[in-house]
Amino acid sequence: MEFRDTPAQAAFRAEVRTFIEQELPAAFRERHPEWGLFNVGREGRFPLDALGQWRRALVSRGWIVPAWPKQYGGAGLTVVEQFIFNEEMAVQGAPQLRGIGGGWAGPTILLYGTDGQKRRFLPGILSGEEIWCQGFSEPGAGSDLAALQTRAVRDGDVYVVNGQKIWTSLAHRARWMILLARTDPDAPKHKGISYFLLDMKLPGITIRPLVNMLGSHEFNEVFFEEVRVPADCLLGEENRGWYMAATTLDFERSNIATSVSMRRIADDMIDWACAHRRGLPPLVRYELAERLLETEVARLMSYRIVSMQARGLIPNREASVAKFYVSELDQRLARTGMQMLGLYGQVALEDGYAPLEGRVPRHYMHAVSSTIGGGTSEIQRGIIAMRGLGMPRG
């Protein structure tokens, strides 16, 4: 694992850093981003004009989707260059604005889509005009995703879809969905699934909000009743959707933005403690020190993953180790912050009475989902056991 940049990489890092310093709108610098694993780069707290200005600046460099080929609006960055870009963006708290469209749907369409699908969908992803959501998890198929039961039955030039998805982020705002549905119920469960690009305006789709304990509407239930999806919205081959979904979930596995954000959380808590709590109990001081060290471990895991990718290796178990570690660390950081604040940890409003603008209790409530979303800690343990330690499936 090489920690030092080559001269070319150092020059690129300096270019990204200068770009952010010159182009990032003041609105992003004046308001601290939310904390936590699932709050990295969330843009909903910022003015639309600032978001538009920042998006145009990124698009001008191909940096909305930096790893995409240049002919599709990207910058054609290498794995290491993309890692450097993500790291610098995270260090300066600059949102990347990719979302599910740029982060998952677009790269999968690039790999498996027809020329017509690329022409139809990639420009809207790049411009931000079309928001995407992810229709994978179901009430009985979350951790065991291959057990999904939503059906898509071919009927001439359409597929008729019936079923339900859950925990669908931004479905209430999305124009399109990447949808997994079972097209062959008689095949082994991993081999009868297909991948669709679903128009969320089609008749028969019902969206119900799932409001979390923060009072935030991010997740949704989505119901499909006789939804007629055009056959040209099938991505790739019928019944090969599971393998394309695995590709979708593989993109940007280094998690460097998450590692950097966790270091910022630890630094913020330590700075506040030094300024306001000189009589902090020894146990909390020790915990703050441990959390700081653990964020460095998370960063080193990210470096290991990208070093493997740069050598053409697939960091499968390593990515699961990193995901498991940062999910659990997110919750430990939240608990330490609450212990540090004592009774002030109950003040979550952004007013003059809340330490750290109320970010600690909001982080604590949101961190409940860290070990669930993106593959539960139990699932990650199973992957590590089987693919990392060679243990039998049990």
CA pair distance 181, 229, nearest whole angstrom = 12
Write out the two tokens for 231.
Answer: 């056959």
CA pair distance 247, 249, nearest whole angstrom = 5
| Residues tagged active-site | 252
Q: What contacts 24+ positions apart, CB below 8 Å, involve 135-140?
A: 135/165, 135/168, 135/171, 135/177, 135/178, 135/179, 135/180, 135/198, 135/222, 136/165, 136/178, 136/180, 136/245, 137/165, 137/166, 137/167, 137/168, 138/163, 138/164, 138/165, 138/166, 139/164, 139/166
Residues sharing a CB contact under 8 Å with residue 33, sequence separation 6 or more, in sequence order: 39, 40, 41, 42, 45, 93, 95, 261
Best CA proximity match to 202, nearest among 135, 115, 110: 135
State the residue for tokens 């679903």: 198
Q: What contacts 24+ positions apart, CB below 8 Å, involve 345-351?
A: 348/214
Contact of 268 with 304, CB cutoff 8 Å: no
Contact of 170 with 131, CB cutoff 8 Å: yes
